[in-house]
Amino acid sequence: MLGRVFRGKFVAGLKTAFHEGRLQFHGHLASLAEPRCFAAWLRVLFRQDWVVYSKRPFGGPEHALRYLGAYTHRVGIANSRLVALSEGNVSFISLDITHS
């Protein structure tokens, strides 16, 4: 039952975001920007059974906060790699880790 409720709320959120223009589709997903195509994709998504796994947090809410708090100061991109910020776009230097 939880899967059905979660699926319904998630799909409703996607619909709302789409109608408010908050979703962007690029590359092979660009066709989803067309309302009829997006609606067809949602129908397929909604037909799937969703499995939601949930359990009580270990140690209660205090433990969950302590666990999540360890991640608040981790950085995805170091400041030294940031190059520019313009009109909501961020430019940064990419590190090539495929060559040594």
Tens digit of each residue's pLDDT (9 = 90 or more) over 10-39: 999 999 999 999 999 999 999 999 999 999
Orientation angle between helical segments 35-47 and 2-19, nearest 10 degrees = 170
CB atoms within 10 A of CB 14: 17
Residues linked to residue 91 through DSSP beta bridges, in sequence order: 84
Structurally, the chain folds into a number of domains equal to: 1
Does residue 100 fall inside a structural domain? no
Does residue 29 fall inside a structural domain? yes
Does residue 80 fall inside a structural domain? no
User: What is the mean predicted confidence (pLDDT) over 63-86?
Assistant: 77
pLDDT value at 76 more than 90: no
Provide the residue range defining the domain that includes 6.
2-55
Q: How far does Cα 20 stand from its chain's mean position?
A: 17
Of residues 64 and 47, more confidence is placed in 47
